[in-house]
Amino acid sequence: MNAVTPLFSKVYCLDTGFHTGRENMEFDRKMMAAFLDGRFQERFGYGSCLWRFYAWQPFAITLGYNQPEHDINRRACIADGIDVVRRPTGGRAVFHADEFTYSFITDSPAENSIHYRMVHEVIMHALEDLGIKAEFCRSTLSRSESAPDTGSVSCFTASARYELQAEGRKLVGSAQRKTRNILLQHGSLPLSCRHRELWRYIALSEGGRIQELREEMEKKSISLGEILGSLPDYNRLVELMVHSAGVVQQTVPVLLHTGDLSDFIEGYDYPESIKQQAS
C-alpha cells in the first residue's frame, strides 16, 4: 500500500463496544456537536481526528439522513426486536447484524473525497493484516436500465469511488455528513452474510421485487466471514484498525476511553444552533 501524506497532527481512537442503535447514533451526534463548538479541539488539539469503533446490540437498521422512513417495514422490525434509527450521515439503509462499525470525525477544510479515500486506505491496510486483498471500487456497481431500482433503499447494492471491494463485491459501506469544516463518516464492515437480511425489513409491496433485492445483495456484497471462512474477532479488528490508523498517518494513535469524553456525552446543554447542525 502506498503511504499517503499525513492529514492530522494527532489521531485518537476509541472503542465503545456494543450498544443499541439509539445509543450509537446519539454518541456520534454529540461528538459531532463537540467538534462543531470547538470543545474537542480545545482539549485534544486542533488538526486532530477521532476514530470510534463499535457494534450493535440488539441488531439495528439505520436509515440515511434523508431516506424516507416508509422504506422500512416497522412491524417486521418490532416483531424481530430490530432497532430502527436514523443516521446523521447520508446514504441508504444498512442492517447492522454481525458487523464491525466505525465512525470518523475531524475538523478539516480538505475535500470530502480526500478523507473518504484516507479512511478506506486505513481499512485496506488493516484487512491486509488479515490476509484479505481489498481494492478500491473503480465505478458504481451497475444495474441494467430495465431492472427495477430495488437497491435504492440498500447501501450494499451500490458503490462509490474509493469504497472497498473484495473478490469483485462490495465489502465496506460508508456515508458522510459535513457541516462547516466538521466531517462525520460512518462505515460498516460485515462479519457475516447477515447484513443481506435487510430484505426481510424492506417495505416492498411486490414479492418479486423483494427477491430481486435479495439477489442483488447476494451478487454485489460480501463479508469478512465469507472470505476468511470464519468470523473474525471484534477485539482483533479494533487492534488492527488502531494500528493501521497510525501507519497510514505516520503517527502513534492515542487511545481514549469513554470516560475521557463523558462531559461531551452526558449532561451538556447544547446550544440550539449546534443541536440543529449535528442532528
Residue 94 confidence (pLDDT)? 94
Pick the range with the lowest mean pLDDT from 11-25, 32-46, 115-129, 253-267: 253-267
| Confidence at residue 210, expressed as pLDDT on a 0 to 100 scale | 81
Q: Decide: helix, strand or coil at residue 10.
A: strand
What percent of the chain lies above the pLDDT cut of 90? 72
User: Beta strand 60-63 with 83-86: parallel, antiparallel or unpaired?
Assistant: parallel
Report whether the peptide linkage leading into residue 148 is cis, meaning its omega lies within 30 degrees of zero: no
Which residue is catalytic, options 49, 77, 137, 155? 155
d(Cα 67, Cα 86) in Å, to the nearest integer?
A: 9
Q: What is the pLDDT of residue 268?
A: 47
pLDDT for 29 equals: 95
User: For the chain, which domains are there?
Assistant: 10-271 (3.30.930.10)
CA pair distance 228, 217, nearest whole angstrom: 19
Residue, of 217 and 274, whose pLDDT is higher: 217
pLDDT above 70 for 46: yes
- Which has more confidence, 65 or 213? 65
Query: Which pLDDT does position 272 carry in this prediction?
Result: 45
Of the pLDDT bands very low, low, confident and very high (cuts 50, 70, 90), residue 209 is confident
- As a whole number, mean pLDDT of residues 209-218 equals 85
Tens digits of per-residue pLDDT, 61-81?
999 999 999 999 999 999 999
pLDDT at 141 (0 to 100) = 41
Query: Span 17-32, mean pLDDT?
Result: 95
Distance between CA atoms of residues 258 and 36, nearest Å = 19
The predicted model scores a pTM of: 0.88
Give the cell for residue 214. 435479495
- Banded model confidence at residue 277, pLDDT cuts 50, 70, 90: low
**pLDDT in the model for residue 275:** 42
Res 271 pLDDT > 90: no
Per-residue pLDDT, 165: 93
193 is catalytic: no
HEC readout, 44-86:
HCCCEEEEEEEEECCCEEEECCCCCHHHECHHHHHHHCCEEEE
Other CB atoms within 10 A of residue 218 CB = 14
For the residues 227-256, what does the mean pLDDT come to? 96
| Section 207-221 average pLDDT | 83
The phi and psi torsions of 83 (rounded to 5 degrees) equal: -65, 145
Instruction: Say what the alpha-carbon torsion angle 132, 158, 78, 73 is, to the nearest 10 degrees.
Output: -160
Task: Look at residue 205 in the predicted model and tell me its pLDDT.
Answer: 58
- Average pLDDT for 232-255: 97
Give the per-residue pLDDT at 211.
84
Quick: pLDDT tens for 150-175.
446 677 766 677 889 999 999 999 99
pLDDT tens digit sequence for 108-152: 999 999 999 999 999 999 999 999 999 998 654 443 333 334 446
Alpha-carbon span 44 to 171, nearest angstrom: 32
